[in-house]
Amino acid sequence: GQQVMQIPQYQHVQEGEDFTTYCNSSTTLSNIQWYKQRPGGHPVFLIQLVKSGEVKKQKRLTFQFGEAKKNSSLHITATQTTDVGTYFCAGKDSSYKLIFGSGTRLLVRP
């Protein structure tokens, strides 16, 4: 079945440093989504990428979708303590299901 792998599992950075998490799918995706889960909270939708090679930005966050539509990345520039949480990618094929990656937990030292 379809699998979505996400690395790294954890990332501990100093405030102000950059952060990147990577997502790889075993199959071609129709779209990929990113979610953020704050400690103790529930996942919240951040963004969706649909087109091959698409790049979207949200303030300090940059999201990319690979040319083959099988991988994606989220890059945060100059992390802040408010960025703490777990970031999940979720890939969608033609079904009703989203397949979530295992998540990257970001810790930021002030």
Partner 1 sequence: SQTIHQWPATLVQPVGSPLSLECTVEGTSNPNLYWYRQAAGRGLQLLFYSVGIGQISSEVPQNLSASRPQDRQFILSSKKLLLSDSGFYLCAWRQGETQYFGPGTRLLVL
Residues that bind partner 1 (CB under 8 A): 6, 31, 33, 42-45, 48, 88, 90, 92, 96-103, 105
CB of residue 5 to partner 1, shortest distance in Å: 10
CB of residue 7 to partner 1, shortest distance in Å: 12
User: Is the Cβ of residue 13 or residue 47 nearer to partner 1 in the bound state?
Assistant: 47
Q: Are 32 and 65 in contact (CB under 8 A)?
A: yes
CB of residue 85 to partner 1, shortest distance in Å: 13
CB of residue 41 to partner 1, shortest distance in Å: 8
Q: Which residues of 18-43 are buried (b: 16+ CB within 10 A; e: fewer)?
A: ebebbbbbeeebebbbbbbeeeeeeb
- The three-state secondary structure class of 12 is strand
Gap between the Cα atoms of 82 and 80, Å rounded: 5
User: Is the Cβ of residue 31 or residue 77 nearer to partner 1 in the bound state?
Assistant: 31
